[in-house]
Structure 1
């Protein structure tokens, strides 16, 4: 209803205008559940929309948060955005989504603009090693949750970092391949310039070393030294890596991709080379995006508990936005889980020696 006022909502719900105001501004700790339900029902029936400018003048903030992701071209970020928005909406917050392409200047610009518009909290998903480009805004009062990242020396005092244990996750998937008899593995990433990618590479190396294999058993595709690691190009990067690796004189029997989109590109490259994934060569990813289970064959990967992580991100951000003092930042790590599908199987060399073990262990 156009022009509906807070007083009309109060009359409809049978409460005082101050009660409606308390709900709109998040002050519901002492409100009876049935009172809150009546007010929310009246708001929906009347189609009431609060005046955000007036709300900001009263409270110094608006019920909105910002989310900055590398690119929703990677379905992982779209899924995370959907879960974060759901958690925010359930508590009366709205969300603005920005794509940064991991560009520091763009991230800084978005952070400054969001803060300037009265948005007091941002979830930043770049996983860059340094937050110096957004540090002045954080020190001015912005609450920041850094996602898919662990705390680093020099981080702003109040920043909370949330992610999965990337080292453990990549160890799990690499150990899975080693357990299937693979002894020549390739790691495909593009640039390892972000914290999450560096941690995953570390997990890959640790698994190789723990198996007692020489360092050369773990091949790092030459593209790993490139500066560009744009999420929009990750699938094509995987395809290029597969073509190059499989054309080598001594190709790998398994390829470890930095994420699922890269792994899907690897699968395409393997097919173009005339080989079969899960028979001639094994492929693994990381994230367990929706497409992973629908790939042909289904992709073995590491599942991140995205919905749980999004809920944690919103909770930590809201706590910071509602606090009047800075609390020390910290890292919250969620546990990853290995998901085994048909893109991995026993090494072809092992299968020739022991036919009874073809197909690997599920």
Structure 2
């Protein structure tokens, strides 16, 4: 039915127009559950669709947030986007997705366009050390949540950082291999310029040192001389890395990959070399994407609590958007979990 108004919905549900408005504007806590059900049923029966333009004029904002990820070529970012969208939809918000490939200029252009379209909150997932390219828009009032990135010197005071403890995650991964008897452990990544990757590499080195091993003796493959991030073909990067590492004079018996897609590529490289994953070379990833449990052998990895992280990211953005004022910045660090599957095994004799 076209032309249905909020007043017709209110009459149909037997409530006041302000009650309908509270539901449409993401404030269901102001009514009883049975009242919310009556309003939702009335909206469904009448086919009511809120006028977004009118809402923006009335409230000064639109209920849309931006999400900037490195690349959805990695299923991890698609899964995070799904969880963030689910949290947003619960409150009547929608999500616009952009792929930046960790390019600061591309990020800046995307965020400028989002800002020009009236979007006042963005979740940024590139984990770059500096956010200088976005500072003019942040100073103008953009709400920014940095995902998978810890606080850095020079960050704006209103920035919210939400991250896994990547150092601890990499320590868990490396210690698991050490406990299986591995000493010749390689680390494979794209460029180590991003904050999250640096922290994972630091955790790897700290775990080796704690075991009495010199990290300098462990092979590190980090994307080649052009320092590519490798987000577009991180599986191919892992495959290339495994081929090169296993053809060396002292090939590793285990490999820590920067993420699960990289780890799956490493597994392919091991098979290319005529070797078997786990039996000949153990592999551990990071993220616990859906493909990790479907791989053969299933991938040992570090799990990130994505639903909780996405919910926290949206909650912080919404608070800033609806208050209309900058909120104090803060950092939230979440605990990783080691998930042991079949891609790791005791060091071969």
User: TM-score, length-normalised on structure 1?
Assistant: 0.93
CA contact 1:279–1:345 (8 Å) conserved in 2: yes
**In the aligned structure 2, how far is the partner of 1:133 from the partner of 1:222?**
25
Report the CA distance shift for 1:150/1:16 in structure 2 as closer, same or farther (over 3 A). same
**In the aligned structure 1, how far is the partner of 2:156 from the partner of 2:46?**
43
Report the CA distance shift for 1:57/1:2 in structure 2 as closer, same or farther (over 3 A). same
What are structure 1's unaligned runs of at least 5 residues? 353-362
Deviations 1:152-211 (A, max 9, x none): 111111110101000000000001111111111111102001100000000001011111
Aligned to 2:264: 264
Aligned to 1:303: 303
Aligned to 2:125: 125
CA contact 1:237–1:262 (8 Å) conserved in 2: yes
**In the aligned structure 2, how far is the partner of 1:225 from the partner of 1:40?**
57
Aligned to 2:146: 146
**In the aligned structure 1, how far is the partner of 2:20 from the partner of 2:197?**
47
CA contact 1:185–1:217 (8 Å) conserved in 2: no
Alignment of structure 1 residues 336-355 onto 2, 5 Å: 336-348=336-348, 352=349
What are structure 2's unaligned runs of at least 5 residues? none
Aligned to 1:357: none
**In the aligned structure 2, how far is the partner of 1:18 from the partner of 1:164?**
40
Aligned to 1:179: 179
Alignment of structure 1 residues 201-212 onto 2, 5 Å: 201-212=201-212
Alignment of structure 1 residues 1-362 onto 2, 5 Å: 1-221=1-221, 223=223, 226-348=226-348, 352=349
**In the aligned structure 2, how far is the partner of 1:174 from the partner of 1:217?**
15
CA contact 2:285–2:300 (8 Å) conserved in 1: yes
Aligned to 1:355: none
* Alignment coverage as a number of residue pairs: 349
Deviations 1:52-73 (A, max 9, x none): 1111111000112111111111
- Give the match's secondary structure for 2:223: helix
Deviations 1:95-132 (A, max 9, x none): 11111111111211121111221222111111111111
Deviation at 1:147, TM superposition (A): 0.5
Deviation at 1:297, TM superposition (A): 0.7
**In the aligned structure 2, how far is the partner of 1:286 from the partner of 1:312?**
21
**In the aligned structure 2, how far is the partner of 1:128 from the partner of 1:14?**
52
Deviations 1:24-56 (A, max 9, x none): 223444333332222222112222111111111
